[in-house]
Homo-oligomer: A and B are copies of this chain.
Amino acid sequence: MPLFDLPLEQLREYRPDRDEPADFDTFWAATLAEAREFDLAAEYVPYDLPLTGVDVFDVSFAGWGGHRINGWFLLPSGADGPVPCVVHYIGYSGGRGFPKDHLLWPAAGYAVLVMETRGHGGANVGSPGATGDPHGSANPQAPGMMTRGIMDPADYYYRRVFTDAVRAVDAALAHPAVDAERVVVSGGSQGGAIAQATAALHPGVKAALIDVPFLSHFRRAVEITGRDPYQELVRFLATRRDSAEQVFRTLAYFDGINFAARATVPALYSVALMDDVCPPSTVFAAYNHWQGPKEITVWPWNNHEGGGGYQSEEQVRYLHKLLSEG
């Protein structure tokens, strides 16, 4: 992969104008209020696997529309007193996978609540999922999730997902083993976009770990990359040639740069300079708008895998420092 985006020194200054609907905040306030009319009804079913160091639960709760959202909840065994909790969101196409995929935070002494992204997880052999999206689409869609309901913000797929994510934080805050003062959101790619939005939408979030986030600065993304999932948008626009104005109107309610501009908690970002799935300028566009204290790890030679396990360990150290201090 050759370099294809702006040079790093320009990326560090790249802070494009935002295209924000006037009713952005109203839209989200109403959406969340409506979702909270459903009882959260979080359930924790012990998972049958002979583990000794961690207690694993199959968790579910009511997300947008009261739909059941599945996930994992892992708690270090034998903790004395509430522990911090990382609410983790999944990348595009993946389901929740297996408890074994989420053992790092428990090994660090934290709980982790892994939320599934509804509808995903049906074709990712490494990360099976359990949660459907019972809400269909009023418009024809491209395969994948990017264009489901895209002709109307109220109908758009990520309205449901971001709402689920806020409710997942609600669930974490309500769990007796969790220290409600130390709930953090995290995720990479789509998961990073969800964490980014949730940090802006939920005042109970104390920090965010955002890796190579997707769903940021759509206008530039669709012009600079030829890869999925952003290409789902291009395929839709190329097919439904009269829909562009409405599509971008909808996307403005979900653009990461509009959430970043509202977030005030500390954040650790990461970005990869050869990432042609979530190009670095779209990541810096959000990062440079983030209002809270922030750091970004730059991976110069990587594509969308970003910092991988190196970044995970950065995050363990970052939270260890942040939550000890705080």
Chain A residues in the interface with B (C-beta under 8 A)? 1-3, 49-54, 76-77, 93, 95, 97-98, 100-101, 103-104, 106-109, 116, 118-145, 147, 149, 222-226, 232, 234-242, 244, 274, 299-303, 305, 307-310, 312-313, 316-317, 320
Contacts and interface: CB of A to CB of B under 8 A. Distances in A.
Contacts of A95: 140, 239
A54 B53 contact: yes
B100 A312 contact: yes
Contact of A53 (B76, B226, B301): B76
Given A100-B312, A123-B142, A52 B239 contact: no
A133 B137 contact: yes
Given A53-B76, A236-B122, A143 B140 contact: no
Given A52-B107, A128-B309, A132-B149, 11 more contacts: A2-B223, A93-B143, A100-B312, A103-B107, A119-B137, A125-B238, A125-B305, A128-B140, A128-B239, A132-B141, A238-B305
A241 B132 contact: no
Contacts of A242: 310
A316 to B, nearest CB: 6
A63 to B, nearest CB: 13
Contacts of A100: 103-104, 107, 309, 312-313
A54, A130, A240: which has the most chain B beta carbons within 10 Å? A240
Nearest to A74: B107
A187 to B, nearest CB: 16
28 contacts: A1-B234, A3-B223, A49-B316, A50-B317, A98-B308, A98-B309, A98-B313, A100-B107, A100-B309, A100-B312, A101-B309, A103-B103, A107-B107, A119-B136, A122-B141, A122-B147, A122-B239, A123-B232, A124-B239, A125-B302, A126-B308, A126-B309, A127-B239, A128-B240, A128-B241, A238-B301, A241-B299, A244-B300
B234 A301 contact: yes
Contacts of A118: 140
A143 to B, nearest CB: 4
A175 B287 CA distance: 47
* Chain A contact residues, majority secondary structure: loop
Contact of A133 (B107, B136, B320): B136
9 A-B pairs with the lowest CB-CB distances in the bound complex, closest first:
A98-B309, A123-B142, A103-B103, A237-B301, A122-B140, A143-B143, A121-B140, A129-B140, A123-B235
Contacts of A129: 140
Given A129-B140, A141-B122, A309-B97, A104 B107 contact: no
B316 A240 contact: no
B235 A125 contact: yes
A139 B122 contact: yes
A1 to B, nearest CB: 5
A316 B47 CA distance: 13
